[in-house]
Amino acid sequence: MKIGILGLGLIGGSLGFDLRSQGHHVLGVSRRESTCQKAIDIGSVDQASVELSLLASAEVVFICTPIGLIVPQVEQLVAHLPETTIVTDVGSVKTPIVNAISPLWKNFIGGHPMAGNTDVGIEAAQRNLFVNRPYVLTPIETTPTSSMIVLEEIVRSLGSIIYHCQPEKHDRAVSWISHLPVMVSASLMAACLSETDLEILQLAQNLASSGFRDTSRVGAGNPELGVMMAQYNRQALVNSLHQYRQNLDTFINLIEQEKWELLEDKLKLNQLNRPKFLE
């Protein structure tokens, strides 16, 4: 099968590796000639170009650009595609994307692989990135069943675990487990940097180890992507942030009032529930 990838960064490049290993012919498009050449050199794609017309022969096209570019790129892309081409995206927000593209292209299916890291660019692409990772598909009532079957088969071949849900429910869920952690992590770093005693700040930086590394990691990613998460999933994220702030205030009150048993109960509850999110 000929499969197109628009956007050759971490996700697009990694998709290319795995799709080629399945025997597909992969066509890649990027804004930069240098990225196209790099993708060919490392074996992520068979062909690459800065021109959207390269994807005209693709049976399935994955849109792997930043969230804010997905709709504009698809608006330009559809002029090059036959009606039978299946188009899907990998954006971390679904509702505005599905609402904008579905009227333009009946064979569009929203998607979101829950995989990746803070690295960016084609140089960060890696094989088997999607193995045993959740991959959400958000079909709507008018989504052709035949298109879903084709896309599910491709996603399953990546080793991913497929979930189906409505775009709105996806956005509410990821606001808790993906978008909120980015903002919490960023606010942790901002709080640390607010320390005015430079000697204490330097000592904290010297002593920072695995705990700080784990809790600050997701806030150290691409700032542009963080802003887009907030912009395109604003309401769900704001709701999550308000709820997080209420819970943080509860912890502050317990500590200020020296209610150590209640604090321990809270921490035990967290210890009990964390595996439900990660197993």
Q: Do 217 and 144 lie in a common domain?
A: no
In CATH, what number is assigned to the domain containing residue 210?
Answer: 1.10.3660.10
**CB-based contacts of 70, cutoff 8 Å, min separation 6:** 63, 89, 91, 97, 101
Q: Do 211 and 105 lie in a common domain?
A: no
Q: How many structural domains compose the chain?
A: 2
In CATH, what number is assigned to the domain containing residue 132?
Answer: 3.40.50.720
* Residue at which a domain ends, from 144, 165, 186: 165
* Residue at which a domain ends, from 132, 165, 198: 165
Residue 63 contacts residue 6 (beta carbons within 8 Å): yes
Element (H, E) at 88: strand 86-89
* Residue at which a domain ends, from 165, 199, 228: 165
Residue 179: domain span? 170-278
Q: Do 145 and 252 lie in a common domain?
A: no
Q: What's the pLDDT tens digit per position in 201-237?
A: 999 999 999 999 999 998 888 898 899 999 999 999 9
Q: What's the pLDDT tens digit per position in 65-101?
A: 999 999 999 999 999 999 999 999 999 999 999 999 9
pTM confidence score: 0.91
Q: What's the pLDDT tens digit per position in 189-202?
A: 999 999 999 999 99
> Does the pLDDT at position 104 exceed 90?
yes
Neighbours of 88 (CB within 10 A): 23
Residue 102 contacts residue 140 (beta carbons within 8 Å): yes
Q: Do 86 and 190 lie in a common domain?
A: no
